[in-house]
Amino acid sequence: MKTIAVFDSGVGGLSVLRALYRHIPEVHWIYAADSAFAPYGERTESEVRARSLQVAQWLQRQHEPDVLVVACNTATAWAIDSLREKLPVLPIVGVEPALKPAALLSRTAHVGVLATSGTLSSPRFAGLLGTVQAQAAAVRFSCQPCPGLADAIERAHDSAIRDLCNTYAQALLARGIAERPLDTVVLGCTHYPFAMRHWQEAFGPHVAILDNAPAIARRTADLLGGVALPDQTDTLNAPEASLYASGDVPMLRQACNRWVPDLNVRSASRLNLP
């Protein structure tokens, strides 16, 4: 059986894990949350890089995964190059805001991007935006950082999640030019799909909200040498995962019960980093 390790600053990567196990069967899943250090989006570049490397090296040492999925846009933005450099034998998949699919989908040619301050200020994001703009010059991208939101999702603080989604959605909608309102929004942080209901309420039914997780599942299946199956939710045996958290372990377990109830938690342990 293959082993795939998935890593995020906290519970956000569970939105990626959910897509992974629904599309890739027969895998032992390892999920590591660096919750003692979350949120990454409000940390410095060197902090995110150093912690990401520590977690990835720990996962490599302890579990020798077939693939490592960095299920965090912020860690991908700041650390993926050094992870690939320091762990050259380990296939690594990162996550990035789905700008290109959004540009292709938008009929008003106006796309909103919701992400952490860290992701939006990174050179990697600037590079991605530049590449997509070069191919879709007519598309306007409005970017909105969402301080506090990943943390509210981490704490499952419902009223704060709703209020913050509303604030950030209104800020984006206000930037829609009257004759060119935005009709497509990219969720550029893996925590944000867990607030999907609030996003959809805040943006209204005419705005499409994109989450990159199925594309990550396809890329991961590809690296494993297979193809991602159609959504297997109803037919597979319950997928099994071993969980690790550098912060509160019971909180990660609760997050799994809440966000990914079809996942069978085999064990939940402390991730002790130096």
CB of 25 or CB of 148, closer to ligand DGL: 148
Active site residue 72: yes
Asked if 49 interacts with ligand DGL (CB under 6 A), we say no
Asked if 4 interacts with ligand DGL (CB under 6 A), we say no
| Bridge partners (DSSP) listed for residue 240 | 28, 264
CB of 76 to ligand DGL, least distance (A): 8
d(CA 222, CA 214): 12
Active site residue 256: no
Beta-carbon contacts of 83 under 8 Å, excluding residues fewer than 6 positions away, are: 52, 53, 56, 68, 70, 92
Q: Out of 72, 143, 165, 256, which one is annotated catalytic?
A: 72
CB of 123 to ligand DGL, least distance (A): 16
d(CA 200, CA 207): 8
Contact present, 20 and 222 (Cβ < 8 Å):
no
d(CA 249, CA 122): 30
Q: Applying CB under 6 A, which of residues 116, 142, 184, 242 lies at the interface with ligand DGL? A: 116
- Binders of ligand DGL in range 182-241 (CB under 6 A): 189-191
- Binders of ligand DGL in range 62-91 (CB under 6 A): 72-74
- Binders of ligand DGL in range 19-48 (CB under 6 A): 38-41
What distances in angstroms separate CA 37 from CA 33, 48, 58, one per listed residue?
A: 9, 9, 16
- Residues noted as catalytic: 72, 189
